[in-house]
Amino acid sequence: MQRRSFIGTGLAFGATAPLILTPSKAAAKRPVLGQGDFQYELHTNWAERHRPRHHPVLNCHEIVQAPDGRIFMLGDHPERQMLVFDDTGKIIDSWGTTYPGGHGLTLGTNESEPYLLLTDAGSIRVGNQWVKYSGRVAKTDLNGREVFTLGHPMTAGAYQPDWAFNPTETCVAPDGGFYVADGYGSNAILKYSAHGQYEFHFGGPEQDVPDEQVIKNAHGVVVDDRSSQGEPTLLVSSRQKHRLLRFDLQGNYIEGYHFPGCMINRPVIAGEHIFLTTLNTSCVLVLDEQNQLVSAPGAHLPDPEKPGSRIKAIDRSPFTHCHDVCVMSNGDLLVCQWHSKQVYPWLLKRVGSS
């Protein structure tokens, strides 16, 4: 895909005497976030500059980029939950009115044909109150045509009648099946075949494990197939515990990583790195191939001289509640935000180290 630059875009103010910003002045007004080799220039007008007035958003939940370059963003606006952008931020398509709690979005490929896995978390905000209903998972093509949907796991004998099902995320398994994280419901991780047949689950309401292994608010799940990690494993965000947990593909615990004070969302694998957003500290975390934190766009790295020091948001952080990150094919990032004045995704344009 052609790499496009937004630096130096002319911005007009007023009807008769537009002010054109030179590249140096425009760049000076854009903060650079992050550390080391993962620094990014923030562009908050990635979509706004196209004036997408007919495609309003409430919360931008998750975002992925398809092989053809199109960018899919799932939200929860009642008029349309899926917005489709080109790589410049222009909305080129929209669909979906049956996912009012639109939350999780995963891109998969079946025999070279891409597809989407969507989760409706079964949770919507009405005024100042949250209304819950049973969530569902849907497999669709890239045009929104449903291939199949999954309802409450009780129908497959997986759940007890009083276990809630409010799924937050999915990921594709190495065998072509997929995992579902029931992060707002019963905190189970469920495994299904490629055709949507239930196979097994782990976690759940009755977890009899040490506290550091507890899955609580299983907000995200992904298969970690990086070459530096050996055999593929499963990473689960235990958001309320501020931990990223690693399991084998059958659900046996291996190890965990603690991010004190950080409500981490789903992990996103790109190359040998992991990218995570945090809801409360409102930043992006970048982990290297050894799972060490190397950059935190929007926050300060912990002080290595002070054991136990926490990740802290920078002063006057532009972010409010970061909810997901998409690593684009050119290395730039798109960040979705929840409960953040209905903003569209923001672009973090990679500038490297300084």
Distance CA 137, CA 151 (A): 7
pTM more than 0.95: no
Identity of the amino acid at 233: T
Read off the tokens for 72: 């899919």
**Tell me: the pLDDT tens digits for 53-107?**
899 999 999 999 999 999 999 999 999 999 999 999 999 999 999 999 999 999 9
**Tell me: the pLDDT tens digits for 284-313?**
999 999 999 999 999 999 988 888 789 999
Does residue 20 sit within a domain?
Answer: no
Read off the tokens for 117: 């896995």
Does residue 2 sit within a domain?
Answer: no
Distance CA 147, CA 289 (A): 36
Cβ–Cβ under 8 Å, residues 278 and 264: yes
Q: Count, in order, helices (H) and strands (E) of the chain.
A: 1, 29
State phi, psi for 35 to the nearest 5 degrees: -135, 160
Distance CA 155, CA 151 (A): 8
- Tokens 């911005």, located at residue: 11
Number of domains, the chain: 1
Does residue 213 sit within a domain?
Answer: yes
Q: Where in the sequence is the domain holding 56, given as residue range(s)?
A: 42-350
Does residue 6 sit within a domain?
Answer: no
pLDDT-derived band at 16, boundaries 50, 70, 90: very low
Does residue 12 sit within a domain?
Answer: no
**Tell me: the pLDDT tens digits for 27-43?**
558 999 999 999 999 99
Q: What does the radius of gyration of the chain's CA atoms come to, in whole angstroms?
A: 20
**Tell me: the pLDDT tens digits for 209-223?**
999 999 999 999 999
Which residues, other chains included, contact 114 with Cβ-Cβ below 8 Å and sequence gap of 6+? 66, 67, 107, 108, 142
Does residue 15 sit within a domain?
Answer: no
User: Average pLDDT, whole number, for the chain?
Assistant: 90
pLDDT of residue 28: 54
Q: What is the CATH number of the domain that holds 108?
A: 2.120.10.30
Does residue 269 sit within a domain?
Answer: yes
Cβ–Cβ under 8 Å, residues 221 and 266: yes
Closest by CA to 187, choosing from 210, 154, 220, 157, is: 220
**Tell me: the pLDDT tens digits for 145-181?**
999 999 999 999 999 999 999 999 999 999 999 999 9
pLDDT of residue 143: 96
pLDDT of residue 111: 79
- 22, pLDDT greater than 50: no
pLDDT-derived band at 125, boundaries 50, 70, 90: confident
Does residue 27 sit within a domain?
Answer: no
Which residues, other chains included, contact 178 with Cβ-Cβ below 8 Å and sequence gap of 6+? 106, 108, 117, 170, 171, 172, 191, 192, 194
